[in-house]
Amino acid sequence: MHDDRSANRMWGGRFAGGPDAIMEAINASIGFDRRLAAEDIAGSRAHAAMLGATGIISDSDSRAIREGLLTVLSEIERGDFAFSTALEDIHMNVEARLAALIGPVAGRLHTARSRNDQVATDFRLWVRGQCDAVDGALVALMRAFLAQAEAGADMVMPGFTHLQVAQPVTWGHHMLAYVEMLARDRGRFRDARARMNESPLGAAALAGTSFPIDREMTARELGFDRPMANSIDAVSDRDFALEFLSAAAICATHLSRFAEELVIWSSAQFRFVRLSDRFSTGSSIMPQKRNPDAAELVRAKTGRIAGALVALLTVMKGLPLAYSKDMQEDKEPVFDAADTLMLALAAMEGMVRDLRPDPAALRQAAAAGFSTATDLADWLVRALGLPFREAHHVTGALVRLAEEKGCDLADLSLEEMRSVHPGIQPQVYDVLGVDNSVASRASYGGTAPDQVRRQIARWKEALG
């Protein structure tokens, strides 16, 4: 038998008022869209200035509205503003306070405007600002990786495929790989910013307005390149938020990949690097342990950012044009993803700047696992003219011989090598050391220290 009293208890005290309380709670967005206060007031001030300039409202009313809005903004910034859930959103909260300050004149502000184009404008302004903030954080992280690359341009380490030792590379080359990734992230955020920099303001509810507004003026005032050309698209589009989240998810994935490497490299089994005490913690019961907590949390927070992208894609996928209340769900995932990404970037910059590689451990690992086998095969092709497939076969036989003897390739005698292929010359030893290996990879984009230094110089000039 159904127990209504139990159901009522499940609503809890917050919803003791029944359906009215539930509707207020589900409908209100002020709990999160208060973050748009500065953007909302900037948009309203631009709109009021335009209404005055076009004669839609009087100059005195326009001036009173704009000055009143500055007072509201100062109250919000000081923490003196009383937000009301009953007023639903940031727009109505600001307008209600404006009315209390300047009287009925405040009601003229919403002439030739809807909350639909208002929120679209506010949100674009906010996301645009986040693109700029992320760009600065990315540059700081790129510089941290460049500092590591410069310090370790000659430092030999193992290069991996399948997490198996593949070929020797330099520490500097590995660090520069992340500089390249982060540069693409910058490009994505900049591309998104350029596309989103159009003004929805003046689209009104969805069809435009019959008032003689000047959309070029408000767009210019708010730093947009132009007004959006279709009023339906202006209020229904959230591509700008999706692009931001997409760029954020890819960027977070890059951070997560390096975080994973830090977790592996700082383990007792690798000991490639030491993490700063500022970004690792001790175990509660095992005094010998240092846990890479900051790296692990960056790795985990990537899931939140990717989840935000999926959440907003799911919100938008079935919405007919133009505006639906579903779109109120656009802000929380974007706010959370932006906060999370900025924190992850700051944490990663700190970890990279404090990171201390162990050159001896890196060199030892670079020499393990017959990492110069490819250099030997390449030498057989260059020096003896063997087809690469035959050179690959000869090298494989030499690796097996070294394994049987429990030594590295460079430790095999010339006679032992010639037992596999009689044409091998003493010059073969010139390519077998890890230093010789990395120095030989001098093709553009290769791991040779000279190439690494050229790339470092290029990036330092590019970043200024």
Q: What is the pLDDT along the chain (464 residues), one digit of tens a residue?
A: 445 544 444 445 555 556 777 877 787 888 888 999 999 999 999 999 999 999 999 999 999 999 999 999 999 999 999 999 889 899 999 999 999 999 999 999 999 999 999 999 999 999 999 999 999 999 999 999 999 999 999 999 999 989 888 889 999 999 999 999 999 999 999 999 999 999 999 999 999 999 999 999 999 999 999 999 999 999 999 999 999 999 999 999 999 999 999 999 999 899 999 988 887 766 544 545 578 899 999 999 999 999 999 999 999 999 999 999 999 999 999 999 999 999 999 999 999 999 999 999 999 999 887 878 888 898 899 989 999 999 999 999 999 998 898 888 888 899 898 999 998 988 888 888 888 889 888 999 999 999 999 999 999 999 98
- φ/ψ region of 370 (left if φ > 0, alpha if ψ in -120 to 50, else beta) reads left
For residue 296, the tally of other CB atoms under 10 A from its CB is 15
So what's the pLDDT on residue 283? Answer: 57
Separation CA 458–CA 463 (nearest Å): 9
- pLDDT value of position 393: 93
In sequence order, what DSSP letters do the residues of 6-35 get, joined into one string?
HHHHHH-GGGTTTHHHHHHHHH--HHHHGG
- What is the sign, positive or negative, of the torsion defined by CA atoms of 66, 68, 74, 80? negative
* CA-based end-to-end distance of the chain: 73
Helices and strands (H and E) in the chain: how many: 19, 8
Q: Cα separation of 371 and 383, whole Å? A: 20
In sequence order, the 6+-apart residues with CB closer than 8 A to the CB of 364 are none
Distance of CA 240 to CAs 123, 127, 196, Å?
9, 8, 5
CA dist., res. 75 & res. 64, Å (int): 17
The closest alpha carbon to 196, from 232, 225, 222, belongs to: 225
Distance CA 347, CA 307 (A): 20
The secondary structure element, H or E, covering residue 282 is strand 281-282
pLDDT for residue 20: 75
3-state secondary structure of 170: strand
Distances (CA, A) of 318 to 149, 228, 314, 324, 326: 47, 23, 8, 10, 10
Query: For position 13, what pLDDT does the model report?
Result: 55
Sequence-distant (≥ 6) Cβ neighbours of residue 222 within 8 angstroms: 42, 43, 46, 121, 125, 199, 201
Q: Which residues are catalytic?
A: 162, 283
Q: Residue 6's pLDDT is what?
A: 47
Residue 289 φ/ψ, nearest 5 degrees: -90, 145
Element (H or E) spanning 165, and its range? Answer: strand 164-170
8 A C-beta contact, residue 203 and residue 234: yes
Phi, psi angle pair for 243, to nearest 5°: -65, -40
Q: Residue 344 has what pLDDT?
A: 97
423: left (phi over 0), alpha (psi -120 to 50) or beta: alpha
- Report whether 169 contacts 157 (CB < 8 A): yes
